[in-house]
Amino acid sequence: MVELQINTTQNVNINFIAASVGERILAYIIDWVIKVAYIVVAFQIVFNLFDWHDAIDDMDVWSQTAIYMSFLLPVMFYSLVLESLLNGQTIGKRIMKIQVVKIDGYQAGIGDYLIRWFFRIVDLNMLSGIIALIAIVTSKKSQRLGDMTAGTSVITLKNNVNISHTILEELEDSYVPTYPNVIKLSDNDARIIKDTFVRAKAARDYETLIKLRTKIVQVVEIKDFNGSDMEFVDTILKDYNYYTQGSFVSKTF
C-alpha cells in the first residue's frame, strides 16, 4: 500500500492511498472488454445488418482504411473522453473505485488527461504494458510515465468515509448563513478547507488556522468577519453547505 501525499494550495499535505497495480490492471481489462464489445457490435452492424461488405471490398485501400478508422475512433479516444467527462474515471476505473487526481492539489483538467492519453502509446501499447507496470511499481507515487509527465496519480476511493471526512456539514433547519460570498468556492476548495481545518483544530495548530482564515478572506473577498479563527472557518463550511447542498434551494422553492 502506497500512501500518497498531495500538497494543497494551502500548503497542507492530505494523505490518500494510491491505487494498487492490481486495481489498475483490472480497470484496464474492464475497459478493454468494453472496447472489444463495441468493435464486435459495430462491425456486426456494418457487415451483417447493413450488408456493406461488398461495397467496402470494392473500395481502394485508403478508403477502406478511412472507414475502419472511423469506427475505431471511439476506442482510440475512449480513455481521454471518459476521464474528461467523468472527473478522472473511465467505466473500468469507476467500477474499481479508483480515480485520476493531480498531485499538486488542483483539479485535473483536459490538458492533464490529454497528456496521460498521449503517453499511453509508450506506457501501455509498447511491450504490452510492461513499461507502465515497471514505472508504477518503481515510482514512489505509483505513477506511469503519463502520470509523471501530467503531474497526476491514481488513487483508490475505497477508504471508509463518513461525514467528518467530506465537505458535508450537518445543518439545523433554522440555520441562517453569514457569508453569501462562499459560493465563489468550489467543492474542491471546500474539501481542502475542511481537511486543513480538521487537522489544525485537532493539533491545536493556531498558526495554520490563522493562515487558513487569511486565505479564505482573500479568496472569498470578505470584508468583515466575526468570532475566532475556528468559529470563522466553521461558519464558512456551514454556509458553503447551505448554499450548495440543497438547503438554500429547498427553502427558496
Per residue in 32-49, pLDDT (tens digit) is 999 999 988 887 876 665
Confidence of residue 169 (pLDDT cuts 50, 70, 90): low
As a whole number of angstroms, the distance between CA 89 and CA 242 comes to 28
* pLDDT at residue 223, rounded to an integer: 77
Average pLDDT over residues 160-174: 54
Matching residue, cell 500518497:
4
* pLDDT at residue 199, rounded to an integer: 85
Average pLDDT over residues 52-64: 71
| Torsional sign, CA 239, 240, 243, 246 | negative
Average pLDDT over residues 247-253: 39
Longest pairwise C-alpha distance within the chain? 80
Average pLDDT over residues 81-101: 92
Average pLDDT over residues 145-160: 84
On average, the pLDDT of the chain sits at 80
Of 69-78, 189-198, 243-252, which has the strongest mean pLDDT?
A: 69-78
Quickly list DSSP for the chain.
--EEEEE-TTS-EEEEEBPPHHHHHHHHHHHHHHHHHHHHHHHHIIIIIS--HHHHHTS-HHHHHHHHHHHHHHHHTHHHHHHHHTTS--HHHHHHTEEEEETTSSPP-HHHHHHHHHTHHHHTSSGGGHHHHHHHHHSTT---HHHHHHTEEEEE--S---GGGSS-----TT---S-GGGGGS-HHHHHHHHHHHHHHHHHT-HHHHHHHHHHHHHHHT-S---S-HHHHHHHHHHHHHHHHSSHHHHHH-
Per-domain residue ranges of the chain:
3-156, 164-247
- Is the predicted pLDDT of residue 162 greater than 50, yes or no? no
- Of residues 209, 132, 142, 220, the one with CA closest to residue 179: 220
What torsion do the CA atoms of 143, 144, 149, 151 make, to the nearest 10 degrees? -20
Predicted model pTM: 0.59
Better-scored residue on pLDDT, 125 or 206: 206
